[in-house]
Structure formats: C-alpha cells, structure tokens
Amino acid sequence: MTASSLKSSRRLSAPTKLRLQLIFARASEALAETYQSQAAEFVRRLKPRLPVDEALQRYFYEVGVPAALEGTVRARALISLAGMIESARQPETRALGWMVMRPDQLLDALRRRVQHIEETNLECRLAASISDEAVTATHVRMALETAQTLEDDVTPDEAIMHYVRTFNLGSIDAQVIFRGAMAQWAELHPLPGEGHALTRLENPVPSRGRPSLELRPRSEFGLRVIV
C-alpha cells in the first residue's frame, strides 16, 4: 500500500473539517454497533460450549476491539443478550471422581477433554473471522464516505489513508481496508468510456446465426476474472 498522509489538511475549510469530525464520530458509532452485534452473535454461536460471560470474554480476546470502545461494546452486548443470561441455568456441580477411575477411563476422559478444547478453539476462530469481515466492511464504508467528503480537497488515496491513520489500524488491517476502499472508489468512478463499454458488454447484441453468450455481471467489489 502506497499513499501519502493528508498533507493538505491545513487547507481544509472550517465546514469541511467539521464534516470530517462528524464522519469520524459516525464511524465510531458504526464500529461500536458492528462490534456489539458481532459479540452477541459470537456468544450465541458458542452457547453450546461456553457460558455467556466466558464466551463474551473470549470474544474480546479473539477480536481486537479498540480499548476506547470496549466498555460500550460490552454493555450493549450484555443488554442484547439479556434473554440468554436470564434463562441460563446454574450448572450442576458434581465430583469428578478421578481417584476411582481406571487408567483407561482416565485416558479416555482426557482425550475427550482435549478434543472438546480443540473444537471450541476452532469455533472461536470461525466466529472471530466472521466478526473481522463485518468490521472490515464497516471500515471500508466509512473510509469511502471520508473520501467523498474530501473529494474537492485531496485525492481519494490521501483521504482514505487519513481515515486509516485516524483510527490507528494495524498494518495488515490498514492494507485490506485501504485496498478495499480504493477498489470500491474505482467502481464508483470509472474512467471515461469505461461505463459505456461495460453497458455494451452487459447487453450484448447476438449476431445472426450464432448463439448469444451469457456474460456474467461484474462483481460489486471490482474483482476481475481472467479466462
């Protein structure tokens, strides 16, 4: 990813700076909502394996929720999970009886325990990956809105980079969001003549005596398939 910082921020007008602050405030709110909904879904997915409090704590471990949003996300997630919390039953406590188990029974119990832990870890990673995708989509949407707000002042790559740095994203996340936002910007702003060419491709005129070929529509996110 190659893009300069927002060097021209000094030239931004006062109304533009205010609109930019509004976008960042909306982005923080959108991210809090995304994290909250994904945290609740994480807990519901892990319900057969982990209690609510442990699953919610595991979510914050697996997903890098910003420290500034953690308290808000936790409170909102708990409110949305109120039904699960109130209906949860206290687990029955019983003695494990390790001392009276035969060695083969003890070994079998340990194997089942290890398998349970591995399966739980896999479910946590899968649920965390879903959350990461949702958070990335929110970042891309708000980065595009930032570029649109600064369209008359700076180039889109500078505006998107300013968004990435404002939210202090890690290098890998920053690259994914930057490229995703740039790809969508390119889709929304085609080169002169590209839109007309795409229209002709999407509505081909079949030639006489030859079967028409069905062309697939372009992907929403600017992916290209080379055959």
Domain segments of the chain as ranges: 11-88+101-191
Rounded CA separation 211/111 (Å) = 61
Q: Is 59 exposed, middle or buried (0-12, 13-18, 19+ CB in 10 A)?
A: buried
Coil, strand or helix: which one is 93?
A: coil
- Please give the Cα distance from 89 to 51 (Å, whole number): 10
pLDDT tens by residue, 211-225: 443 444 444 444 443
- Residue where the block lists tokens 């002169």: 192
Q: Is the pLDDT of residue 166 over 70?
A: yes
Q: What's the residue count for the chain?
A: 227
- pLDDT tens track for 142-155: 999 999 999 988 89
